[in-house]
Amino acid sequence: MRKLSQGERHRVSFTLNGKPVSSWAEPRMLLTDFIRQELGETGTHVGCEHGICGACTVRLDGEAVRACLCLAVQAEGRAVDTVEGLAEHGGPLSALQQAFRKHHALQCGYCTPGILMSLSDLFEREPHPDDEQLRDVVGGHLCRCTGYAGIMAAAREVAGMAKKAE
């Protein structure tokens, strides 16, 4: 059994976007704060901090989850993927990111990293999702700018592109 005492910082190590990382966290530290403040990757955004808005969505062992509803210490030894890992730094954007740009699927961009991580999980599980599946996944995010039309258009294009590539 492992006990991590309150008020003390404990070593937390996991794989972030394919690279091993390590830093220190108190038991109560949220994964969002650990990624942003300890690891310095600020693409993961903090919105409501109680699991409603979806801005902080990351992938934990491949599955899209709310990073604000996860403790940093719970990510120990696991694989965490954030928006920074979707494209090589300075390299071309992923197909999903390119579709977001083309269809104006963002305005202020605050919700965008979370939506990209959710959709990237869906497209890996199901390359040809139907509208209902897309709506189910996008429905887990609040976007106050776009009215979702651009987001859905971008997601549909990726679903369609995947079909053509068969």
Give the CA distances from residue 41 to residues 37, 55, 85, 97, 166, in Å, rounded to whole numbers and listed in that order: 8, 14, 10, 18, 35
Q: Which of 30, 80, 83, 154 binds another protein (CB under 8 A)?
A: 30
Residue 5 in the binding site for another protein (CB under 8 A): yes
Residue 28 in the binding site for another protein (CB under 8 A): yes
Per the listing, tokens 């390359």 go with: 127
Residue 94 in the binding site for another protein (CB under 8 A): no
CB atoms near residue 1 (< 10 Å): 2
Question: Which residue, 54 or 150, is less far from another protein as judged by CB?
Answer: 54
Residue 150 in the binding site for another protein (CB under 8 A): no
Residue 69 in the binding site for another protein (CB under 8 A): yes
Q: Which of 54, 85, 113, 150 binds another protein (CB under 8 A)?
A: 54
d(CA 79, CA 16): 6
* DSSP-derived 3-state class of residue 28: coil
Which sign does the torsion angle of CA 39, 48, 58, 93 carry?
negative
Residue 92 in the binding site for another protein (CB under 8 A): no
What is the token pair recorded at 151?
Answer: 């987001």
Q: Which of 34, 35, 36, 57 binds another protein (CB under 8 A)?
A: 57
CB atoms near residue 25 (< 10 Å): 23
Q: Which of 15, 74, 98, 107 binds another protein (CB under 8 A)?
A: 74
Strands 79-81 and 10-16: parallel
Point out which span in 11-19, 47-55, 90-98, 143-151 binds another protein (CB under 8 A): 47-55
Q: What are phi and psi of 113, to 5 degrees?
A: -55, -40
Q: Which of 15, 21, 23, 26 binds another protein (CB under 8 A)?
A: 26
Residues that bind another protein (CB under 8 A): 1-7, 26-28, 30, 33, 49-51, 54, 57, 60, 63-66, 68-71, 73-74, 118, 122, 135-137, 139-140
